[in-house]
Protein backbone atom coordinates (compact mmCIF):
# COMPACT_ATOMS: atom_id res chain seq x y z
CA UNK A 1 0.00 0.00 0.00
CA UNK A 2 1.21 3.48 -0.90
CA UNK A 3 -0.44 5.68 1.70
CA UNK A 4 -0.08 8.73 -0.54
CA UNK A 5 -2.47 7.13 -3.04
CA UNK A 6 -4.86 6.19 -0.25
CA UNK A 7 -4.78 9.72 1.13
CA UNK A 8 -5.28 11.16 -2.33
CA UNK A 9 -8.38 9.02 -2.89
CA UNK A 10 -9.80 9.91 0.53
CA UNK A 11 -9.11 13.59 -0.14
CA UNK A 12 -11.16 13.47 -3.34
CA UNK A 13 -14.03 11.66 -1.61
CA UNK A 14 -14.08 14.26 1.17
CA UNK A 15 -13.70 17.30 -1.08
CA UNK A 16 -16.48 16.14 -3.39
CA UNK A 17 -18.84 15.73 -0.45
CA UNK A 18 -17.76 19.04 1.08
CA UNK A 19 -18.74 20.83 -2.12
CA UNK A 20 -22.05 18.95 -2.26
CA UNK A 21 -22.81 20.01 1.31
CA UNK A 22 -21.99 23.61 0.40
CA UNK A 23 -24.24 23.56 -2.66
CA UNK A 24 -26.56 26.06 -0.98
CA UNK A 25 -28.36 29.16 -2.19
CA UNK A 26 -29.04 32.18 -0.02
CA UNK A 27 -30.70 35.17 -1.69
CA UNK A 28 -29.58 37.95 0.63
CA UNK A 29 -26.41 36.60 2.22
CA UNK A 30 -24.65 34.56 -0.47
CA UNK A 31 -21.36 36.32 0.33
CA UNK A 32 -20.96 34.20 3.45
CA UNK A 33 -21.21 31.07 1.31
CA UNK A 34 -18.48 32.36 -1.03
CA UNK A 35 -16.25 33.01 1.95
CA UNK A 36 -16.94 29.60 3.53
CA UNK A 37 -16.34 27.78 0.21
CA UNK A 38 -13.15 29.76 -0.41
CA UNK A 39 -11.49 28.42 2.72
CA UNK A 40 -13.03 24.95 2.48
CA UNK A 41 -11.65 24.52 -1.02
CA UNK A 42 -8.18 25.86 -0.23
CA UNK A 43 -6.79 22.34 -0.30
CA UNK A 44 -4.46 20.78 2.21
CA UNK A 45 -4.03 17.10 2.91
CA UNK A 46 -7.41 16.68 4.70
CA UNK A 47 -5.55 14.55 7.18
CA UNK A 48 -8.22 14.63 9.91
CA UNK A 49 -11.19 13.42 7.82
CA UNK A 50 -8.82 11.00 6.08
CA UNK A 51 -7.97 9.43 9.46
CA UNK A 52 -11.69 9.22 10.24
CA UNK A 53 -12.37 7.49 6.91
CA UNK A 54 -9.48 5.03 7.33
CA UNK A 55 -10.65 3.96 10.81
CA UNK A 56 -14.04 3.11 9.34
CA UNK A 57 -12.41 1.18 6.50
CA UNK A 58 -10.30 -0.83 8.96
CA UNK A 59 -13.53 -1.93 10.62
CA UNK A 60 -15.18 -2.74 7.28
CA UNK A 61 -17.77 -0.01 7.64
CA UNK A 62 -19.44 1.64 4.64
CA UNK A 63 -17.70 5.00 4.59
CA UNK A 64 -20.38 6.80 2.56
CA UNK A 65 -22.88 6.50 5.41
CA UNK A 66 -20.64 8.58 7.67
CA UNK A 67 -18.97 10.91 5.21
CA UNK A 68 -20.79 13.98 6.53
CA UNK A 69 -19.13 13.49 9.92
CA UNK A 70 -15.73 13.49 8.17
CA UNK A 71 -16.70 16.77 6.48
CA UNK A 72 -17.80 18.24 9.80
CA UNK A 73 -14.32 17.65 11.24
CA UNK A 74 -12.76 19.43 8.25
CA UNK A 75 -15.21 22.33 8.68
CA UNK A 76 -14.22 22.74 12.32
CA UNK A 77 -10.54 22.64 11.38
CA UNK A 78 -11.16 25.21 8.62
CA UNK A 79 -13.08 27.63 10.85
CA UNK A 80 -10.20 27.53 13.35
CA UNK A 81 -7.71 28.44 10.59
CA UNK A 82 -9.85 31.38 9.41
CA UNK A 83 -10.05 32.82 12.92
CA UNK A 84 -6.37 32.03 13.65
CA UNK A 85 -5.26 33.98 10.59
CA UNK A 86 -7.15 37.17 11.57
CA UNK A 87 -5.12 40.32 12.25
CA UNK A 88 -6.25 40.18 15.89
CA UNK A 89 -4.78 36.67 16.16
CA UNK A 90 -1.77 35.40 14.14
CA UNK A 91 -2.19 38.04 11.40
CA UNK A 92 -1.35 35.70 8.51
CA UNK A 93 -1.80 36.85 4.93
CA UNK A 94 -0.99 33.54 3.22
CA UNK A 95 -2.36 30.04 3.83
CA UNK A 96 -1.59 27.07 1.57
CA UNK A 97 -0.18 29.47 -1.00
CA UNK A 98 -3.36 31.55 -1.23
CA UNK A 99 -4.41 34.82 0.44
CA UNK A 100 -6.11 34.15 3.77
CA UNK A 101 -9.88 34.55 4.10
CA UNK A 102 -9.87 38.04 5.63
CA UNK A 103 -7.47 39.28 2.93
CA UNK A 104 -10.14 38.43 0.35
CA UNK A 105 -13.43 39.02 2.21
CA UNK A 106 -12.47 41.45 4.97
CA UNK A 107 -12.29 40.85 8.72
CA UNK A 108 -16.03 41.04 9.42
CA UNK A 109 -17.00 38.39 6.86
CA UNK A 110 -14.02 36.23 7.88
CA UNK A 111 -15.18 36.26 11.50
CA UNK A 112 -18.72 35.39 10.43
CA UNK A 113 -17.54 32.71 7.97
CA UNK A 114 -15.64 31.03 10.82
CA UNK A 115 -18.71 31.24 13.04
CA UNK A 116 -20.89 29.93 10.22
CA UNK A 117 -18.61 26.95 9.51
CA UNK A 118 -18.54 25.98 13.19
CA UNK A 119 -22.30 26.32 13.50
CA UNK A 120 -22.98 24.53 10.20
CA UNK A 121 -20.77 21.64 11.35
CA UNK A 122 -23.09 21.16 14.34
CA UNK A 123 -26.22 21.59 12.21
CA UNK A 124 -24.97 18.65 10.15
CA UNK A 125 -24.25 16.59 13.26
CA UNK A 126 -27.77 16.98 14.68
CA UNK A 127 -29.18 16.00 11.31
CA UNK A 128 -26.78 13.04 11.29
CA UNK A 129 -27.96 11.90 14.74
CA UNK A 130 -31.60 12.24 13.66
CA UNK A 131 -30.95 10.03 10.63
CA UNK A 132 -28.72 7.56 12.51
CA UNK A 133 -30.55 7.46 15.80
CA UNK A 134 -28.38 5.38 18.11
CA UNK A 135 -26.44 6.26 21.23
CA UNK A 136 -23.03 5.82 19.58
CA UNK A 137 -23.90 8.54 17.05
CA UNK A 138 -24.35 10.90 19.99
CA UNK A 139 -21.11 9.76 21.65
CA UNK A 140 -19.21 10.35 18.39
CA UNK A 141 -20.60 13.90 18.12
CA UNK A 142 -19.99 14.59 21.81
CA UNK A 143 -16.34 13.57 21.38
CA UNK A 144 -15.92 15.91 18.41
CA UNK A 145 -17.49 18.86 20.23
CA UNK A 146 -15.47 18.30 23.42
CA UNK A 147 -12.21 18.08 21.47
CA UNK A 148 -13.01 21.33 19.62
CA UNK A 149 -13.79 23.53 22.63
CA UNK A 150 -12.28 24.79 25.88
CA UNK A 151 -11.28 21.25 26.86
CA UNK A 152 -9.52 20.88 23.52
CA UNK A 153 -8.58 23.00 20.53
CA UNK A 154 -9.79 26.38 21.82
CA UNK A 155 -8.13 25.76 25.20
CA UNK A 156 -4.86 25.11 23.38
CA UNK A 157 -5.18 28.19 21.18
CA UNK A 158 -5.85 30.41 24.18
CA UNK A 159 -2.77 29.16 26.04
CA UNK A 160 -0.76 29.50 22.81
CA UNK A 161 -1.75 33.14 22.36
CA UNK A 162 -1.53 34.39 25.94
CA UNK A 163 1.97 32.94 26.29
CA UNK A 164 3.52 34.51 23.20
CA UNK A 165 6.95 35.96 24.10
CA UNK A 166 6.81 34.33 27.53
CA UNK A 167 8.77 31.48 29.04
CA UNK A 168 6.49 28.63 30.03
CA UNK A 169 6.88 25.24 31.71
CA UNK A 170 7.28 22.09 29.64
CA UNK A 171 3.93 20.99 31.06
CA UNK A 172 2.30 24.08 29.60
CA UNK A 173 4.06 23.52 26.25
CA UNK A 174 2.75 19.94 26.17
CA UNK A 175 -0.74 21.21 27.06
CA UNK A 176 -0.67 23.64 24.12
CA UNK A 177 0.39 21.01 21.59
CA UNK A 178 -1.97 18.35 22.92
CA UNK A 179 -4.95 20.67 22.87
CA UNK A 180 -4.24 22.91 19.91
CA UNK A 181 -3.44 20.04 17.59
CA UNK A 182 -3.76 16.51 18.98
CA UNK A 183 -7.33 16.87 20.25
CA UNK A 184 -8.92 17.27 16.82
CA UNK A 185 -6.95 14.25 15.60
CA UNK A 186 -8.19 12.33 18.65
CA UNK A 187 -11.72 13.46 17.73
CA UNK A 188 -11.29 12.10 14.19
CA UNK A 189 -10.10 8.73 15.41
CA UNK A 190 -12.35 8.21 18.41
CA UNK A 191 -15.57 9.41 16.76
CA UNK A 192 -14.96 6.92 13.93
CA UNK A 193 -14.28 4.25 16.57
CA UNK A 194 -17.68 4.91 18.16
CA UNK A 195 -19.43 4.73 14.79
CA UNK A 196 -17.61 1.46 14.03
CA UNK A 197 -18.71 0.09 17.43
CA UNK A 198 -15.08 -0.63 18.33
CA UNK A 199 -14.70 -2.35 21.71
CA UNK A 200 -13.30 -0.55 24.76
CA UNK A 201 -9.86 -2.02 24.35
CA UNK A 202 -9.59 -0.87 20.73
CA UNK A 203 -10.98 2.56 21.66
CA UNK A 204 -8.18 3.05 24.16
CA UNK A 205 -5.52 2.22 21.56
CA UNK A 206 -7.17 4.41 18.91
CA UNK A 207 -7.22 7.29 21.39
CA UNK A 208 -3.59 6.84 22.42
CA UNK A 209 -2.41 6.42 18.83
CA UNK A 210 -4.19 9.66 17.89
CA UNK A 211 -2.67 11.51 20.85
CA UNK A 212 0.86 10.44 19.88
CA UNK A 213 0.28 11.13 16.18
CA UNK A 214 -1.12 14.57 17.00
CA UNK A 215 1.88 15.48 19.17
CA UNK A 216 4.24 14.25 16.43
CA UNK A 217 2.31 16.27 13.86
CA UNK A 218 2.65 19.55 15.80
CA UNK A 219 6.31 19.03 16.68
CA UNK A 220 7.10 18.30 13.03
CA UNK A 221 5.19 21.51 12.16
CA UNK A 222 7.34 23.42 14.65
CA UNK A 223 10.52 21.98 13.14
CA UNK A 224 9.41 22.68 9.56
CA UNK A 225 8.66 26.30 10.50
CA UNK A 226 12.42 26.60 11.03
CA UNK A 227 13.98 24.31 8.43
CA UNK A 228 11.11 23.87 5.92
CA UNK A 229 10.80 25.08 2.34
CA UNK A 230 8.32 27.97 2.06
CA UNK A 231 7.34 27.10 -1.49
CA UNK A 232 6.66 23.42 -0.80
CA UNK A 233 4.86 24.21 2.48
CA UNK A 234 2.70 26.86 0.78
CA UNK A 235 3.01 29.13 3.82
CA UNK A 236 5.50 31.54 5.35
CA UNK A 237 8.23 30.00 7.52
CA UNK A 238 9.93 31.57 10.52
CA UNK A 239 6.59 32.95 11.77
CA UNK A 240 6.81 31.10 15.10
CA UNK A 241 10.03 32.87 16.08
CA UNK A 242 8.72 36.24 14.84
CA UNK A 243 5.60 35.84 16.94
CA UNK A 244 7.40 34.53 20.00
CA UNK A 245 5.45 31.25 19.87
CA UNK A 246 6.29 28.50 22.32
CA UNK A 247 7.52 25.61 20.19
CA UNK A 248 9.47 22.43 20.84
CA UNK A 249 12.58 23.76 19.02
CA UNK A 250 12.46 26.95 21.13
CA UNK A 251 12.25 24.91 24.32
CA UNK A 252 14.45 21.90 23.48
CA UNK A 253 16.45 22.88 20.38
CA UNK A 254 16.12 21.20 16.96
CA UNK A 255 17.96 17.92 17.69
CA UNK A 256 16.15 17.17 20.94
CA UNK A 257 12.86 18.08 19.24
CA UNK A 258 13.58 15.54 16.50
CA UNK A 259 14.20 12.92 19.22
CA UNK A 260 10.88 13.82 20.86
CA UNK A 261 9.17 13.64 17.46
CA UNK A 262 10.57 10.13 16.90
CA UNK A 263 9.47 9.12 20.39
CA UNK A 264 5.86 10.09 19.66
CA UNK A 265 5.99 8.40 16.25
CA UNK A 266 7.20 5.15 17.83
CA UNK A 267 4.62 5.30 20.61
CA UNK A 268 1.89 5.82 18.00
CA UNK A 269 3.08 2.73 16.09
CA UNK A 270 3.21 0.69 19.32
CA UNK A 271 -0.35 1.67 20.21
CA UNK A 272 -1.88 0.88 16.83
CA UNK A 273 -0.01 -2.46 16.69
CA UNK A 274 -2.01 -3.54 19.73
CA UNK A 275 -5.12 -3.80 17.55
CA UNK A 276 -4.28 -7.19 16.08
CA UNK A 277 -7.46 -8.46 14.44
CA UNK A 278 -7.78 -5.54 12.00
CA UNK A 279 -5.54 -4.28 9.23
CA UNK A 280 -4.16 -1.08 10.76
CA UNK A 281 -1.13 -0.85 8.45
CA UNK A 282 -2.28 2.52 7.08
CA UNK A 283 -1.89 4.05 10.53
CA UNK A 284 1.58 2.65 11.16
CA UNK A 285 2.68 4.03 7.78
CA UNK A 286 1.01 7.39 8.47
CA UNK A 287 2.97 7.79 11.71
CA UNK A 288 6.22 7.03 9.87
CA UNK A 289 5.23 9.51 7.15
CA UNK A 290 4.58 12.28 9.70
CA UNK A 291 7.95 11.54 11.30
CA UNK A 292 9.74 11.92 7.97
CA UNK A 293 7.83 14.73 6.26
CA UNK A 294 9.86 17.49 4.72
CA UNK A 295 6.93 19.81 3.92
Regarding 266 and contact with a copy of itself (CB under 8 A), the answer is: no
Q: Residue 90: helix, strand or coil by DSSP?
A: coil
How far, in Å, are 75, 86, 98 from residue 42 at the CA level?
12, 16, 8
Regarding 155 and contact with a copy of itself (CB under 8 A), the answer is: yes
Contacting a copy of itself within 78-97 (CB under 8 A): 79, 83, 86, 88-89
Regarding 99 and contact with a copy of itself (CB under 8 A), the answer is: no
Phi, psi of 131 (to 5 degrees): -85, -15
- Whether 191 and 147 have beta carbons less than 8 Å apart is answered as no
- Whether 239 and 225 have beta carbons less than 8 Å apart is answered as yes
Task: Specify the residue, 70 or 269, whose C-beta has the smaller distance to a copy of itself.
Answer: 70
Regarding 176 and contact with a copy of itself (CB under 8 A), the answer is: yes
- The residues near 242 (Cβ < 8 Å, ≥ 6 apart) are none
Stretch that binds a copy of itself, among 31-39, 199-207, 212-220, 282-290 (CB under 8 A): 31-39
Regarding 116 and contact with a copy of itself (CB under 8 A), the answer is: yes
How far, in Å, are 65, 132, 145 from residue 141 at the CA level?
15, 12, 6
Task: Specify the residue, 114 or 291, whose C-beta has the smaller distance to a copy of itself.
Answer: 114
Regarding 246 and contact with a copy of itself (CB under 8 A), the answer is: no
- Whether 10 and 54 have beta carbons less than 8 Å apart is answered as yes
Regarding 1 and contact with a copy of itself (CB under 8 A), the answer is: no
Separation of alpha carbons 109 and 102, rounded Å: 7
- The residues near 9 (Cβ < 8 Å, ≥ 6 apart) are none
Regarding 224 and contact with a copy of itself (CB under 8 A), the answer is: no
CA dihedral sign of residues 30, 32, 33, 38: positive
Stretch that binds a copy of itself, among 6-14, 133-141, 210-218, 255-263 (CB under 8 A): 133-141
Task: Specify the residue, 17 or 45, whose C-beta has the smaller distance to a copy of itself.
Answer: 17
Question: Minimum distance from CB of 252 to a copy of itself (Å)?
Answer: 19
Task: Specify the residue, 1 or 108, whose C-beta has the smaller distance to a copy of itself.
Answer: 108
Stretch that binds a copy of itself, among 46-54, 136-144, 230-238, 250-258 (CB under 8 A): 136-144
Regarding 273 and contact with a copy of itself (CB under 8 A), the answer is: no
- Whether 59 and 49 have beta carbons less than 8 Å apart is answered as no
CA dihedral sign of residues 44, 256, 227, 102: positive
Q: Residue 95: helix, strand or coil by DSSP?
A: strand
Stretch that binds a copy of itself, among 5-13, 27-35, 235-243, 278-286 (CB under 8 A): 27-35
Binding site for a copy of itself (CB under 8 A): 24, 26-29, 31-33, 36, 79, 83, 86, 88-89, 106-109, 111-112, 114-116, 118-120, 122-123, 125-127, 129-130, 133, 135, 138-139, 141-142, 145-146, 148-151, 154-159, 161-162, 172, 175-176, 179
Amino acid sequence: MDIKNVMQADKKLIEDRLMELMNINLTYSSKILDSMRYSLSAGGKRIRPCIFVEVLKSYNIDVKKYLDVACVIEMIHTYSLIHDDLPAMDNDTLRRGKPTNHMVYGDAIAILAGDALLNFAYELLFKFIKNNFQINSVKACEEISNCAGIYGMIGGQVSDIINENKDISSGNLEYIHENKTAKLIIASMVSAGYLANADENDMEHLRKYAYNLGMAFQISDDILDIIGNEKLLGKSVGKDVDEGKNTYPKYFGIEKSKEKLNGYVNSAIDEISEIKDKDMSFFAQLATYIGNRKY
